[in-house]
Structure 1
Amino acid sequence: MGFFRQYYRFGAIAAVAGAFLLGALIRPLNHARTPDQANTREAPSRRRTQSTHADAIQSAKLPSHGASAKRPAVSALTPEQRLAEHARMIVSATDSQQRRQLSLEMIETNHPAAALQLARLAADSRDPELQMMLLESIQQSEKLTDPDGTLAQTISQILRGDSEDGVKRACEDVLGALPTAASAQILKDAFESTQALPEEKINAAENLLRVATLRPSLLSASDTQKVIDQIRLEAQAASDPESRAQAFMTLGERRNENTAFFRQMLDIERDGNVRNLLVKLIGGATATVASQPTGTR
């Protein structure tokens, strides 16, 4: 019995020692796991953190559908802000049709500063096509006003610059629709310029007579007659039908004063289109005189 008791005691001690030794061997193995194995428990939370961070970055990079709301709706802008917004869109637009539509919308606001804003855009531009489009849009204004002469001064800046002939004529057409002392003086200077070509002189004269028709006090009777006499000379001296037609149309601003001259030129005119124009001018002048009350001729 003593032998067996010692045997079991020795076995128990050996079992405890074996368990301790086995635990000591397993613990280093746990610490020796690979980094991927060691991070297995952390991976889900880290993935969630990384996913949240990535979503935040993505949302910062990609604008939401409401990003366009940063620019106020046009209807919510003040009139001055609306003009500035239209001007910005005209400059940034690449399609000529879109530019034309925007400039017409701008002038149709009938805001006193709309024409000046378009004129300044034309003065700043070096694109003749854009300049002419802006100037033509100004002419669509129902009533041009220029209380301080700034609009006429801006148009004069374009007129005196190195602009194409079409742009200069468009400038004069704007001034012809602006019955102010400033515009009349600019047109008079252009008409009397010794460097002006015949067609430029005729166009300036046409708009000068138009201004005088809108506001007779802007051009004296003697100055008006001087313009008419000069255009008659240009019409007689012009060798091409187009120039003659332009001169006759200019004199058409004062049809009643030029009826006799139209008849005289009809007798010697050989171009069919110009003859038709003269007939219409004579007929228009006759009809105008006939429609006037008795005693006003």
Structure 2
Amino acid sequence: MITAIALVFGAWLVQLLLTNPNFEWDVVATYLNSETVLQGVVMTLFLTATAMAIGLVLGGILVVCRMSDNVVLRVLASAYIWFFRGTPQLVQLIFWFNIGLLVPVVSIGIPFGPTFFSAESNELVTPLLAAIVGLGLHEAAYQAEIYRGGLLSVDEGQVEAAKALGMKPARLFFRIQLPQAMRFIVPPTFSAIIGMAKGTSLVSVIGGAELLFSVQEIYSQTYQTIPLLIVASLWYLFITTVLNGVQFFIERHYGRGASRNGSASMIGRFFDRRAVNRSINLTRGSES
């Protein structure tokens, strides 16, 4: 019964996509590779890569402070994570874009001494810089918790055994803790990267020229809202599909020797089936 309903719904959806002229697929094809849209795609990828780089590095620093024996560092890291996870990403972007209302002039120098650099915040904080700072600082808080969850998943007995053998802390971390923690860090990290790629659309609110802002510029002149939003959606789907494929191969690398139930993504399941079929064919060939 459920299968029949799903098939009927799927057929109706296909019919709607093919027969409804309001989708304007010819317009979609025209703008899919237009210069303005491609510039927006490049900016989306740049924002994703830059903000995630900040999040990955700063998140690592935060988790070290969060798990340290120093009370002050633990409190500061916990307060950072509490604040940036507790406030909406859009609010943070708007805040950084309007930081000039709070700090009109940015100065670098010696306190009560000479100033080496000074600039007005409104000139210094462009939409691009506000987007990078806002997205990166927000992501760092989530990434710190991802790291912490992965490190806590490592069996404490292995850590204690390595310490008993005299293994140095750096060697212990890179040879024992990190390889095992990566199995738990990679999936949520790639989910964060995919979320970041889509979350860059929030930058359009502050005038950042990413993908959504680019298509908005076009349909504000042509009034072809639906086909241009379809163009943006297709590009987002393409980006996230590629990221899902990369995630599968990295998960498979760090999951070697571990018990797995298969990949959760459609791309991952496709490669899982190919691997199983290849294994079966090799087994049959050796038997014959």
Regarding TM over 0.5, the answer is no
TM-score bucket (shorter structure): under 0.3
Q: Which has the higher contact order (CA 8 A, sep 6+)?
A: 2
* TM-score for the superposition, normalised by structure 2: 0.25
